[in-house]
Structure 1
Amino acid sequence: MESGPAIFAGTTFALFGAGLLLWTGARVLHREPVALGVRPSVSLISATLSGVVFLALGVWCFGRM
């Protein structure tokens, strides 16, 4: 019963993190801005770091089951 919320949270975090990393990679490959109004290096670093953190949180939630 307690693993239900961990599965949901882990799936949500992992999907969001993977999606953010894929989206950031696609934007960089097409040489388009990752975030409007922000320096390209700052937006790339923050989006990549956020994607990695969310993906790690998803893996961590799955590990706690």
Structure 2
Amino acid sequence: MESGPAIFAGAAFTLFGAALLCWTGVRVRYGEPVAAGVAPRTAAVLTGLFGAGSLLLGIWCFGRL
């Protein structure tokens, strides 16, 4: 019974983290702003950290099965 929520949380975190990292990479590659009103390097670094953190959290959730 407890594996259902872990699978859902793992999938949600993994998909969000992967999408955030891909989106940030594309924005940085084309020189477009990642976040409005924030320094480009700061936004790219923080977005990358949050994307990687979310991806790792999703992998951790899958590891708890």
| Ranges in structure 2 where 5+ consecutive residues have no aligned partner | none
- Counterpart CA distance in 2 for 1:40 and 1:26 is 13
Aligned to 1:20: 20
Offset at residue 58 of structure 1 (A) = 0.2
Distance across 1 between alignment mates of 2:17 and 2:8: 14
Counterpart CA distance in 1 for 2:15 and 2:52 is 11
Task: Provide TM-score, normalisation by structure 1.
Answer: 0.98
Equivalent position amino acid for 1:51 in 2: G
Query: Segments of 4+ in structure 1 off by > 2 A?
Result: none
- Give ranges in structure 1 of 5+ residues lacking alignment: none
Letter of the structure 2 residue corresponding to residue 16 of structure 1: F
Residue in 2 that maps onto 1:4: 4
How big is the alpha-carbon RMSD for the aligned residues of Structure 1 and Structure 2?
0.4
Percent same amino acid among aligned pairs? 60
2:31 aligned with 1:39:
no
Structure 2 distance, partners of 1:57, 1:8, is 12
Q: TM-score, normalised by structure 2?
A: 0.98
User: What are the residue-to-residue correspondences of 1:45-64 with 2, within 5 Å?
Assistant: 45-64=45-64
Q: Secondary structure at the match of 1:34?
A: coil
Q: Distance in 1 between matches of 2:53 and 2:60?
A: 10
